[in-house]
Amino acid sequence: MSSLDTKSMIPAILIAGTHSGVGKTTVTLGLMAALRARGLVVQPFKVGPDFIDPSHHTAVCGRPSRNLDPFMMGEDGVRRSFSSALLGADVAVVEGVMGLYDGMEATEVASSAQVAKILDLPVLLVINVHGMSRSAAAMEKGFVEYDPRVRLAGTVLNRVGSERHLSILKSCMEKPIFAALPREREMEMKSRHLGLVMGFEKEHDVQALAVLLERHAAINEILKLRALPCPTPEEKAAAEKSVRIGIAQDEAFCFYYYDNLRELERQGAELVFFSPLQDDLPDVDGLYIGGGYPELHASRLEASPARSQIKRASEDGMPIYGECGGLMYLGSAIEMETGTFRMVGALPGATVMTKRLAALGYAQAEAVAQNPVVGLGKILRGHEFHYSRFDSDRDARFAYRLCRGKGIREGWDGRKR
């Protein structure tokens, strides 16, 4: 069943880049902030499996940013998430991932281009024009012609050197220039080992970003860009609440996909948010501990009363699911250069922080043992990105066998007690 979605007729754009590091996030946040300053309700989105950029979107827009990932969600899932999020919004802004055409390996899967085609979104291409003039026009032409099915509406020129530089660029670019941003070193975003700092850490001046875009972008013209209406799968009615699930959420555990939490609610779960850093374990039937930065808060996690309470709940048979940082927390310890810190100890094994990237990319697994997430034989899709390893005994039990990705050890993942 599907219906013709008219909500997507509000202004909507996808901001893509020629490659990573060209200023997509700065442009996106600045545009979102400028639109908010005009009194508009902005619905943010992010292409791909990113947790960090969406936290910035959410902080700027005051609405949860939604991930759009065709590999993990499928095309219908992308359409459903996009359509459902538009309720009450005046404009939709989608931040792309990597370069416009960069997808999984040498394919377009999970690329900004694929999402733009699924939703028929107009694309603004961010080009870092520092040190370029006519070469920027050649770059634009290549991106336009590489896949004519992508609606490339125009460009955003970043790091323009001067008015003369801009005049030269205008004389040779074919597509409309929707923004021309000068070099602003103070606008660069701070980062750490998993990417940018989180949005709630407020390491950037949102008001300054808004002023930058309002001054140098044709926002009135951007607001004329729209997605075309497309059939959108209908959502099933939410089930009655039948179970309480505790969701760990604070500075240490902040990596969640909004649609995953929403799906739990649709399946009948009442979500109870709490902080393992400072709260007691709430009265719940099960726990979901997401990823984040437990290594940055290891001493506080070690001292928190929730640590021993979760251990007792695990021993009493409570279903507990941890991913990424959640796995680290459920193990016996986190070992770093600064010391070793005790964690919950619900799972045998310890996390060792590494200086090098240990895993990065999409993963796919088959469930081969009972677990809190899916039944036997079911396929899971996810994403790996960490600077750590989880050490456990050779006879460790796992719930998933990977057909794509590294996993915890030799293609196995889903560590069980």
Using the CB atoms, write b or e for 198-222: b if 16+ within 10 Å: bbeeeebebeebbebbbebbebeeb
* 173: helix, strand or coil: coil
Q: What is the pLDDT of residue 224?
A: 97
Contact 116, 16 (CB under 8 A): yes
The lowest-confidence range among 108-117, 334-343, 366-375 is: 366-375
Angle at alpha carbon of residue 37, lines to 31 and 39, rounded to 5°: 110
Judged against a pLDDT cut of 90, whether residue 8 lies above it is answered with: no
Contact 25, 50 (CB under 8 A): no
pLDDT band at 9 (very low <50, low <70, confident <90, very high): confident
Domains within the chain, CATH numbers bracketed? 2-231 (3.40.50.300), 243-416 (3.40.50.880)
Judged against a pLDDT cut of 80, whether residue 391 lies above it is answered with: yes
Q: What is the pLDDT of residue 403?
A: 95
| 172 is a catalytic site residue | no
How big is the chain, counted in residues?
417
Q: Residue 302 burial (CB < 10 Å; 0-12/13-18/19+)?
A: middle
Give the mean model confidence (pLDDT) for residues 300-314. 97
Q: What is the pLDDT of residue 204?
A: 63
Q: What is the pLDDT of residue 230?
A: 66
Give the mean model confidence (pLDDT) for residues 130-136. 96
Angle at alpha carbon of residue 271, lines to 266 and 274, rounded to 5°: 160
Judged against a pLDDT cut of 80, whether residue 199 lies above it is answered with: no
Q: Which of 99, 100, 71, 83 is nearest to 12 (CA)?
A: 83
Say if strands 379-386 and 388-391 run parallel, antiparallel, or are unpaired. unpaired
pLDDT band at 51 (very low <50, low <70, confident <90, very high): very high
> Could you read off the pLDDT of 53-107 as tens digits, one per residue?
999 999 999 999 999 999 999 999 999 999 999 999 999 999 999 999 999 999 9
d(CA 327, CA 343): 10
3-class SS letters over 70-118: HHHHHHHHHHHHHHHHCCCCCEEEEEEEEECCCCCCCCCCCCHHHHHHH
Q: What is the pLDDT of residue 236?
A: 74
pLDDT band at 26 (very low <50, low <70, confident <90, very high): very high
Give the mean model confidence (pLDDT) for residues 35-55. 96
d(CA 143, CA 135): 13
> Could you read off the pLDDT of 152-182 as tens digits, one per residue?
999 999 999 999 999 999 999 999 999 999 9
d(CA 1, CA 8): 18
Give the mean model confidence (pLDDT) for residues 142-146. 98
227 DSSP 8-state letter = P
Q: Which of 280, 283, 263, 262 is nearest to 272 (CA)?
A: 283
> Could you read off the pLDDT of 369-378 as tens digits, one per residue?
988 888 899 9
Q: What is the average pLDDT score of the chain? A: 92
Q: What is the pLDDT of residue 3?
A: 43
Q: Which residue among the candidates 172, 254, 324, 403 is catalytic per the annotation?
A: 324
> Could you read off the pLDDT of 217-242 as tens digits, one per residue?
999 999 999 987 766 777 777 888 89
Mention every residue, 6+ apart, whose C-beta is less than 8 A from residue 298.
334, 336, 341, 343
Q: Which helix (H) or strand (E) holds 223?
A: none
Strand partners, 381: 364
Q: What is the pLDDT of residue 372?
A: 85
Q: Residue 38 burial (CB < 10 Å; 0-12/13-18/19+)?
A: middle
Positive/negative CA dihedral, 150, 152, 156, 160? positive
Q: Residue 390 burial (CB < 10 Å; 0-12/13-18/19+)?
A: buried
Q: What are the tokens at 365?
A: 């697994």
Give the mean model confidence (pLDDT) for residues 342-353. 96
Give the mean model confidence (pLDDT) for residues 379-384. 94
- Per cent of the chain over pLDDT 70 is 93
Judged against a pLDDT cut of 60, whether residue 258 lies above it is answered with: yes
Q: Which of 350, 360, 416, 413 is nearest to 386 (CA)?
A: 360
